[in-house]
Amino acid sequence: MARVLVVEDEPNIADFIRRGLVYKGYEVDTAASGEDALETARERLPDLVILDLMLPGMDGVEVCRRLRAADDVPIIMLTARDALSDKVEGLEAGADDYVTKPFQFAELLARVRAALRRKEARTDAGVISVGDLTIRPLSREVLRNGREVQLSAREYDLLEYLARHAGQVLSKETLFEKVWGYDFEVESDAVKVYVSYLRKKLNAGGEPDLIHSIRGVGYIVKAH
């Protein structure tokens, strides 16, 4: 189930979009301001963002720039303004698509599906990106902020699995089963140890953590 973040300060429009997407099987978070949108995205990384251009406080263009700096999540700009300069400004800030109000929900849904298909195609093509982290599975190459990161085979396998599920909290049991390939042992600290190895190597250039611990639950990969 894809998670969509709807950033819209008009309650009726936000609820209209939310209800339509939920009916079509999407998980939906909403935010009424740019600041709330960034906080929500940090807590629960979305698969796609529908972003109103005209927001109170921080406008949609600035929100788009900040989201794009942190992750390659698809962004669809949504606004009543239809001037060419506004569209260009949104696209240059990093938006993937642009829908002008008023709109038919069927059109917005089609654009959501197309954007998610393009994102899936990028991943299937062999590149996984989370913020400034780039993983090329075919060559098992890992780059952080353009810097090559040398990993052992087990470190790489763990990082790739976490990155493929970016934004999801994964339990130690799940990681042990999927990466090590056998049942989790309660007394084993292997996951914790290897996460420590990864953090040290990934953050060697002074970068912030990408792998976050969720106490009592497991780990999540997400960009700041």
**Higher per-residue pLDDT: 137 or 37:** 37
pLDDT, residue 187, reads 45
d(CA 54, CA 45): 22
Do 84 and 22 lie in one domain? The reply is: yes
For residue 54, is pLDDT > 70?
yes
Reported as a single tens digit per residue, the pLDDT across 55-112 is 988 998 999 988 887 777 899 998 876 666 666 777 777 788 888 888 899 989 998 9
Angle among Cα 84, 86, 92 to the nearest 5 degrees reads 100
Task: Answer yes or no: do 33 and 83 share one domain.
Answer: yes
8 Å CB contact between 118 and 110 = no
3-state SS, residue 211: strand
- Claim to verify: residue 95 and residue 43 sit in the same structural domain: yes
**Residue 22 shares a structural domain with residue 110:** yes
Alpha-carbon span 31 to 11, nearest angstrom: 10
- Which residue type occupies 27? E
| Residue bearing the bigger pLDDT, 10 or 186 | 10
Among residues 69, 96, 100, the alpha carbon closest in space to that of 86 is found at: 100
What CATH number is attached to the domain comprising 100?
A: 3.40.50.2300
Over 50: is that where the pLDDT of 186 sits?
no
Give yes or no: residues 102 and 14 share one domain: yes
pLDDT of residue 12: 94
Provide the CATH number for the domain around residue 149: 1.10.10.10
The residue-averaged pLDDT of 202-221 equals 91
One domain for residues 136 and 92: no
Higher pLDDT pick, 186 / 198: 198
| Domain end among 104, 124, 144 | 124
Phi, psi of 221 (to 5 degrees): -100, 125
- Domain that residue 75 falls in: 3-124
pTM of the model: 0.58
Rounded Cα gap, residues 29 and 44, in angstroms: 9
Task: Clarify whether residues 109 and 138 are in a common domain.
Answer: no
Structure confidence at residue 211 (pLDDT): 95
Among the candidates 103, 124, 145, a domain finishes at: 124
Domain end marker among 94, 124, 154: 124
Find the mean pLDDT for residues 32-45: 90
Tokens of 221: 């990969």
Burial of 151 (0-12, 13-18, 19+ CB in 10 A): buried
| Residue 184 scores a pLDDT above 70 | no
| Residues 12 and 49 reside in one and the same domain | yes
Judged by average pLDDT, the poorest of 11-15, 51-55, 122-126 is 122-126
Average pLDDT over residues 117-132: 76
* Residues 129-183 pLDDT 10s: 888 899 988 888 999 988 999 999 889 989 999 998 888 899 988 888 778 765 5
Into how many domains does the chain fold? 2
What is the rounded CA–CA span in Å between residue 24 and residue 18? 10
Are 91 and 147 part of one and the same domain? no
Residues 113 and 7 in one domain: yes
Is the separation of the CB atoms in 73 and 45 below 8 Å? Answer: yes
Least trusted range by pLDDT, from 128-137, 184-193, 201-210: 184-193
Same domain, 158 and 190: yes
Same domain, 109 and 168: no
